[in-house]
Structure 1
């Protein structure tokens, strides 16, 4: 009798829809990426000491090189996803990420850390286009919002784990910082295995007769229209402030505000923790009031600029912590889904892939500049306070440009 029964594990696996598996494994991907991005930032002083007193600019270059490789990989990765499918891009990409993390973990000098950062950034660059094309293809329309929120929450959780975990393990327990990278290597090995097990290969698309060729000139005119350029500028400014916080806030809290040990990671992680409800709430409000997206974006950006300034002006720890929570609630992770939705409203569905690759390329280019420039300013002035003001200034300029171009525009949803 038992011979006729299918294996219980197979039945359970088939009972879980493919799109739900995708959501889980993609959220794990963001968790791994953001643990790596933040695991070193709370312990920059310890890394500097282990390397014989490297300057802030040299330490900032670790993140800048990572983001340089990550940014350069965006458009090629998007093209490869369209040609060979997400599975054949993600698995080699995360394997490259694993090699980079392993090199950093074994590094005994800055040169090897730089090389490992380049490998890690190149590998992580495979994720963005793969993840969001997968979810767009397979998640049912009625669940797309909540699915995207769950996937994106992996970034917030990864950031919290990286900041709190490294602060506690290195500063309180005394774990040598290199070992944190080996944990990431092990996590990546598991994720690569899950991708190989769960993700499906791209189905071959039958060749079609060459119909009306899309005119590249027309596509370029949309990609570089004033509205799109304003979105690129806005996203650049948004990311500049965010990646300044991600890379240098822990060091600022320790060296300029007197935070110690676990408190450094916990205070920094407040940005990620507060971002989750903020992103869910404002995205829902934006969907409900679709004609007010420009107003939502401008209001949130200005609020983010104020909270960045308030962070360095805070006279005591309580106001400082409130400022960080407000930045998380109102800052990049809250406004990003609305900006993405605004961009989608202004291009045709057939141009989503190219548009979002270019959009993310411009946005992430700020992450290349921010870590090194903040370190350089710190070396020159002895403080990172000026970098907070500079971040707020960029946001205000970006917001003014965005407002000037879009103040009278009600975007139309294009479906062609």
Structure 2
């Protein structure tokens, strides 16, 4: 983190623009969820095929994680994310115009592919620009864009389609235009390196080179990879199937679905900011994660374990506070503290590739379980079981060699 003190106010601009980026990404994803029943009726498909829509989207998103991170480190991270970001906005518009199910699947898969380029290069750029003392809280602010976007996507679809009786295709137009505008803003603001950046070198003075194999020999990185997989699986069970569950199992419909579903993202904003601040204050992430992940497990299974509506509301709020959206910036700090400076984008690409592999599996497996059992309960219990594995992984993270950063750079 030698370049942190040279970043000055640039890191604030980076945080703002990347927060807007994640708002756009998550809003585009979640416009799909409140209109799943409309899409199911339009194309006459079953629950497994409905889950396949999200699974293929995240297959496309996931396969680009490692290549985009590696190519970003090699040729320029800004060169990777700007064209891809604008491209996914265009593809989102095209996806919403498809009249055949398999053409819709194909275009939505490509939308996910273009979205997938963003993660590794983005967190590589932000981790390089944000001062180390503010790394977790800065990442948490960026991460809050996911929560805001998730809620915004629910509301855009619920209001336009359910309340205003517009076509289910309308939200795809709305989000596509917004994404393109944000992509242009990003192109203007983002630089490849923060002001005063100095490239990492070896002891001999040669430019440091990345050895990808070394990433898999780092214990803490491997444990972070396992934890994010378990966390994301549960998150995408909730993200993909919660609106459907609320309609079919709890009898909630219309904007009420958007309101209840939005409890998770809105609760996550104070959660991620608080736990991000706490992690930075402690100078360690393991103690914080050992509180968050067990609570995420309890809240996930409570969604379907109890019939009382107030328990459902409390479970969703608690999950929002401690779940994937809030856990992610803390795990990002684990990766940033253990990854080589020269390979930040690659490290984050691998981290998100492994994590987002769960996003491919979760929607389809949960849909298959629903078709087999007749309800969604076992899908949520499976998500809870994986979080138990995540708890075990966090327990073995070793932070004994960490040095707490006391100095805070002044923002100019």
8 A Cα contact 1:64 1:367, kept in partner: yes
Partner in structure 2 of residue 8 of structure 1: none
Structure holding more helix per residue: 1
8 A Cα contact 1:97 1:123, kept in partner: yes
Pairing 1:296–2:314 present: no
Partner in structure 2 of residue 104 of structure 1: 95
Q: Which range moved further: 337-346 or 207-216?
A: 207-216
8 A Cα contact 2:200 2:341, kept in partner: no
- TM-score, length-scaled by structure 1: 0.87
Largest Rg, 1 or 2? 1
- Distance, in Å, in 1 between the alignment partners of 2:199 and 2:33 is 48
Query: Relative to structure 1, is the Cα distance of residues 306 and 206 closer, same or farther in structure 2, using a 3 angstrom cutoff?
Result: closer
Query: Relative to structure 1, is the Cα distance of residues 268 and 88 closer, same or farther in structure 2, using a 3 angstrom cutoff?
Result: same
Matches within 5 A, 1:235-384: 235-291=228-284, 293-384=285-376
Query: Relative to structure 1, is the Cα distance of residues 354 and 318 closer, same or farther in structure 2, using a 3 angstrom cutoff?
Result: same
Pairing 1:394–2:389 present: no
Query: Relative to structure 1, is the Cα distance of residues 262 and 353 closer, same or farther in structure 2, using a 3 angstrom cutoff?
Result: same
Partner in structure 1 of residue 65 of structure 2: 74
Q: CA deviation at 1:351?
A: 4.1
CA RMSD of aligned residues (A): 2.8
Partner in structure 1 of residue 173 of structure 2: 182
Partner in structure 1 of residue 400 of structure 2: 410
- Distance, in Å, in 2 between the alignment partners of 1:322 and 1:410 is 36
- TM-score, length-scaled by structure 2: 0.87
- Distance, in Å, in 2 between the alignment partners of 1:138 and 1:289 is 21
8 A Cα contact 2:85 2:179, kept in partner: yes
Q: Aligned to 1:107, what secondary structure does the other structure show? A: coil
8 A Cα contact 1:244 1:374, kept in partner: yes
8 A Cα contact 1:378 1:384, kept in partner: yes
- Distance, in Å, in 1 between the alignment partners of 2:381 and 2:135 is 37
8 A Cα contact 1:84 1:202, kept in partner: no
8 A Cα contact 2:136 2:332, kept in partner: no
What are the Cα deviations for residues 219-247 of structure 1, in whole angstroms up to 9, with x where unaligned?
A: 62452344432221111001100011111
- Distance, in Å, in 2 between the alignment partners of 1:32 and 1:351 is 26
Q: CA deviation at 1:358?
A: 1.4
8 A Cα contact 1:56 1:376, kept in partner: yes
Query: Relative to structure 1, is the Cα distance of residues 150 and 119 closer, same or farther in structure 2, using a 3 angstrom cutoff?
Result: same
What are the Cα deviations for residues 88-126 of structure 1, in whole angstroms up to 9, with x where unaligned?
A: 212220233123212211111211111111211111112
Partner in structure 2 of residue 47 of structure 1: 39
- Distance, in Å, in 2 between the alignment partners of 1:231 and 1:286 is 15
Q: Aligned to 1:257, what secondary structure does the other structure show? A: coil
Which of 1 and 2 has higher RCO (CA within 8 Å, sep 6+)?
2
- Distance, in Å, in 2 between the alignment partners of 1:309 and 1:323 is 9
Q: Aligned to 2:253, what secondary structure does the other structure show? A: coil
8 A Cα contact 2:139 2:329, kept in partner: no
8 A Cα contact 1:345 1:411, kept in partner: no
- Distance, in Å, in 1 between the alignment partners of 2:328 and 2:361 is 20
Partner in structure 2 of residue 13 of structure 1: none
Q: Which range moved further: 85-94 or 64-73?
A: 85-94
- Distance, in Å, in 1 between the alignment partners of 2:185 and 2:379 is 40
- Distance, in Å, in 2 between the alignment partners of 1:123 and 1:341 is 25
Partner in structure 2 of residue 32 of structure 1: 24
Q: Which range moved further: 241-250 or 24-33?
A: 24-33
What are the Cα deviations for residues 269-313 of structure 1, in whole angstroms up to 9, with x where unaligned?
A: 11000000011111111222235x323212211111111111112
- Distance, in Å, in 2 between the alignment partners of 1:286 and 1:244 is 27
Q: Which range moved further: 202-211 or 148-157?
A: 202-211
Query: Relative to structure 1, is the Cα distance of residues 140 and 221 closer, same or farther in structure 2, using a 3 angstrom cutoff?
Result: closer
- Distance, in Å, in 2 between the alignment partners of 1:140 and 1:115 is 41
- Distance, in Å, in 1 between the alignment partners of 2:386 and 2:349 is 22
Query: Relative to structure 1, is the Cα distance of residues 45 and 205 closer, same or farther in structure 2, using a 3 angstrom cutoff?
Result: same
